[in-house]
Amino acid sequence: QLFRLEDYRPTDYLIPQISLVFDLHPERTIVRAILSIERREGVEASAPLVLDGDDLNLVALTVNGAALGDNGYQATPERLEITQLPEQDRFTVEIVTEINPTTNRQLMGLYRSSGVYCTQCEAEGFRRITYFLDRPDILSIYTVRIEASEAEAPVLLSNGNRQETGDLADGRHFAVWHDPHPKPSYLFALVAGSLGHISDSFTTRSGRKVDLAIYVEHGKEPRALYAMDALKRSMKWDEEVFGREYDLEMFNVVAVSDFNMGAMENKGLNVFNDKYVLADAETATDADYAGIEAVIAHEYFHNWTGNRITCRDWFQLCLKEGLTVFRDHEFSADQRSRAVKRIAEVKTLRAHQFPEDAGPLAHPVRPRRYREINNFYTATVYEKGSEVVRMIRTILGPELFRKGMDLYFERHDGEAATIEDFVRVFEDASGQNLSQFALWYEQAGTPNLSVSYDYDAAEKTFAIELEQSLKATPGQSRKKPMHIPIKFGLIGSDGKEIAPASATGAEVAADVIHLRQRKETVRFTGVTERPVPSLLRGFSAPVTLASELPRDDLMFLALNDSDPIGRWQALTKLLTAKLIAGVKRVRGGKAPVIDTDIVGLVGEITADERLDAAFRALCLTLPGESDIARDIGNNIDPDAVLASRDALIKAIAGAHARPFAALYDALANNGTFSPDAASAGRRALRNSLLDYLSVAEGSPSRAEAQYRAADNMTDRAAALSVLVHRFGDSESAGQALAAFEERFGGDPLVMDKWFIVQATRPGAATLDTVQALMHHRLFSLDNPNRARALIGAFATANQTGFNRADGAAYRFFADTILKIDVENPQLAARLLTALRSWRSLEPVRRDHARAALAQIAGTEKLSADVKDIVERTLG
Ligand code: ARG
Ligand code: ZN
């Protein structure tokens, strides 16, 4: 079935209140739902009430307390249609369903994992619990009573505030929860089981005390302390930066080990993948800590952007997701180094969203069509959606942006809103017309900016000629010019900013050029020397930049731009050009030519003590194989990409071995572990140096020593990665892997790192390793984290292994996707997107990839999720 944005219609009936009673049982859970129904004004009494279901079993049904005749309703697992309805506009429908949480392996609706009952209802999981108008524009007040065996489930949680608890006969007990805030069904949640917890409290700025708790598996409580700290910082930050206060007496977080996504913002009861809650120095890397801080903040921020103001329909998903990602990005930037955080965001966007935009799965930030909404929780909706919000702030400035956000909360609190509503608050707050800007929500694809420069010494003018273009994407052949905000600076030979006397042509406001036409020129006057232009500072728009800036200017920017993002962009441009030239030579049977200037530049930035260690680490880490492949664009040979990249690493390592070794020693950890950004930055730089030094030394000794000495997971995992990826056949690598398994074999979440490091070892032979690891005692395709660690990492982060020239890895991948699809379609569909760039491979690999996709497409009984992805991917 195809869903279309323009088909939106309000429902005939509303459900202002719902009362749910859960009688929990592992295989036979009984759900009694009492819905207060309201017929909308002007709707005939003959209009049927049609409720959504999914795999449901109706046990009983009454309307206003009376059973209906056989002609009064029609029930299937997917739908309950009630035709025999009272004349009055308000009535009550009571529905009893029976569900089986144990056999629910889709992890949607109510399921039971590791003995814990939990729910996931976004997007359409509530209909797997009871029949309902399961769409985000139906807002109801929920009262939930949970009954369960006290031995099996001492903890009983749902949304809102706990109102009552008590004992029942036969060792059972109950809890009643009430959420006073009307909410859509996708925000409903229930958790029940035997869990440990830590508690704390937060006092809001208006003086209300909120009880906080994080529930985890027994014994893991200490590992939740960092998440709790991040939660309290998030609550404070949202008050200070967005003026948003929490609105219930309690806030609960639960970590579960079987979860399809990162986490879920259910009102007052956030449910998390344990990966985004559990951390301590022994088991979590710095990246894990940063991920926890970001996801805790993200889900908490949804309380206002998502829950208080929700989405009218799922086409508006970016209304809550793009905005909330923007908010969590800003939070992390304030907690850590803003520049380093921004560069990490740009890297993520380029790595995940740009390929999506350039391939068969491209779609607008606000899609207009979908077959399976779960396939639209994408980098485009989330990350590009966040960039669109950031551009609004760039265009309006921080004050008007805040004014617009205040207006958004004031005007739409308690509503299910649209992107049009969102854009309008900024127009109203600023008096600006944003209709052209709104094309960012409508047009898929990454715009390219092509730029040329002209300095006239006699006239003292500097001209920047800008041209935007946007390729066709599926379903959109013709594109209109967009409003692109380009932050810029002009830099003089002394490294200082040049302030031109005036600008004509395209609009220039302070440090932003507003490109609105397809092609425009800005002419600056009073420019006394030829400046070096820095464009797209702060990565002010999600575009690609083709600039005819000479190599010397890029070198100058890499060393002198006052904007760190500008420096990093210039360096990345230089490195990428070199790496691509290297790929060409490798494919022609020649060795890459080493550019001593660039090798020197990398050494210079690495040694510059004035710069943040984390920033230097980012500069020292060369563009990845998939970055290089993406920038080449077509006819990719991953083996040649790896060879070119390794040649440059070797040249840099060889040229700077001595200073790198000295710096490696100087950065050694002293004192106890702290996950703060500055310490993490030093570890990142030191671990990047470890890789170079190991290459220069041609020996695993240094990594082996670091592995042994490591007192934290960041250093241990980095050493293991060098051992396995650079010296995979050595005894040291084998010993380190065995030691890791010995030490962490009881902890599947930590063992994911062990699976990942092996799955990402470059080279064709890794397929055998992955196939063998499928039989490891800790591995199971049923658990999403395990499947992502082994299969996901292999398919997305091992260019040479996955894209073996003989196609064997694609065939293995197709078989595995089909196996996963039987249990968990959402997970299978998500993993399958790893093949989205198949058309950009060289012909032999491309044919193998197409055959694997065709094998999937030709399979009977595919889920709707996988069918949608495979059909769009094949095009
Ligand atoms: N709203 C969640 C978040 O981003 C993601 C839930 C996605 N669920 C799904 N079934 N696709 O915070
Ligand atoms: Zn979200």
Which DSSP string do the residues of 636-694 spell out, in sequence order?
A: B-HHHHHHHHHHHHHHHHHHHHHHHHHHHHHT---SS---SHHHHHHHHHHHHHHHHHH
Q: Which active-site residues does the annotation give?
A: 299
Checking phi first, is residue 526 left (phi over 0); if not, alpha (psi -120 to 50) or beta? left
Predicted confidence band of residue 699 (pLDDT cuts 50, 70, 90):
very high
- Whether residue 634 is predicted with pLDDT greater than 90 in this model: the reply is yes
In this structure, what are the phi and psi dihedrals at residue 569, rounded to the nearest 5 degrees?
-65, -40
Structural element, H or E, at residue 450: strand 448-456
Residue 510's pLDDT is 94
State both tokens at 641: 């990409």
State both tokens at 487: 């932050």
Quickly tell me which residue has 């939740």 as its tokens: 224
Query: How far, in Å, is the centroid of ligand 1 from the Cα of 263?
Result: 7
Cβ atoms 386, 353 nearer than 8 A:
no
Q: How far apart are CA 557 and CA 146, in angstroms?
A: 62
* Residue nearest to ligand 1 atom 11, measured at CA: 374
* Residue nearest to ligand 1 atom 1, measured at CA: 264
Residue 670's pLDDT is 78
Overall average pLDDT of the 537-566 stretch: 97
Residue 577's pLDDT is 97
Return the DSSP state at 583: H
Return the DSSP state at 476: B
The pocket around ligand 1, CB under 6 angstroms, is made up of 122-123, 260-261, 263-265, 298-299, 321, 374, 377
Distance of CA 440 to the CA centre of its chain: 19
The DSSP string of 69-125 is PGGGEEEETTEEEE----SSSEEEEEEEEEE-SSS--S--EEEEETTEEEEE-TTTT
Ligand nearest to the CA of 260: 1
- Whether residue 671 is predicted with pLDDT greater than 90 in this model: the reply is no
The greatest distance separating any two alpha carbons of the chain, rounded to the nearest whole angstrom, comes to 95
State both tokens at 456: 């006239």
Which atom in ligand 1 lies closest to the alpha carbon of residue 295? Answer: 12
Q: For residue 821, which of 853, 867, 777 has the smallest C-alpha distance?
A: 867
- Whether residue 840 is predicted with pLDDT greater than 90 in this model: the reply is yes
Ligand nearest to the CA of 784: 1
Overall average pLDDT of the 164-184 stretch: 98
Ligand nearest to the CA of 326: 2
Please give, one letter per residue, the 3-state secondary structure of 240-284: HHHCCCCCCCEEEEEEECCCCCCEECCCCEEEEEHHHCCCCCCCC
Residue 669's pLDDT is 83
Q: How far apart are CA 608 and CA 616, in angstroms?
A: 8
Residue 609's pLDDT is 97
Cβ atoms 277, 255 nearer than 8 A:
yes
The pLDDT tens digits of the residues spanning 87-123 come to: 999 999 999 999 999 999 999 999 999 999 999 999 9
Overall average pLDDT of the 787-796 stretch: 98
Cβ atoms 450, 549 nearer than 8 A:
no
Cβ atoms 93, 48 nearer than 8 A:
no
Cβ atoms 829, 864 nearer than 8 A:
no
Cβ atoms 704, 723 nearer than 8 A:
yes
Report how far apart the first and last C-alpha atoms of the chain are (Å, whole number). 18
Angle, nearest 10°, between helix axes 843-857 and 864-874?
150
Q: How far apart are CA 383 and CA 318, in angstroms?
A: 9
The pLDDT tens digits of the residues spanning 380-438 come to: 999 999 999 999 999 999 999 999 999 999 999 999 999 999 999 999 999 999 999 99
Query: How far, in Å, is the centroid of ligand 2 from the Cα of 356?
Result: 19
Which atom in ligand 1 lies closest to the alpha carbon of residue 264? Answer: 2
Q: How far apart are CA 4 and CA 557, in angstroms?
A: 47
Which atom in ligand 1 lies closest to the alpha carbon of residue 302? Answer: 12
Checking phi first, is residue 64 left (phi over 0); if not, alpha (psi -120 to 50) or beta? left
- Decide the pairing of beta strands 512-515 and 484-491: antiparallel
Q: Which of 122, 295, 324 to mutate to test the pocket of ligand 1 (most atoms within 8 A of CB)?
A: 122
State both tokens at 815: 């078989």
The pLDDT tens digits of the residues spanning 504-530 come to: 999 999 999 999 999 999 999 999 999
The pLDDT tens digits of the residues spanning 123-147 come to: 999 999 999 999 999 999 999 999 9
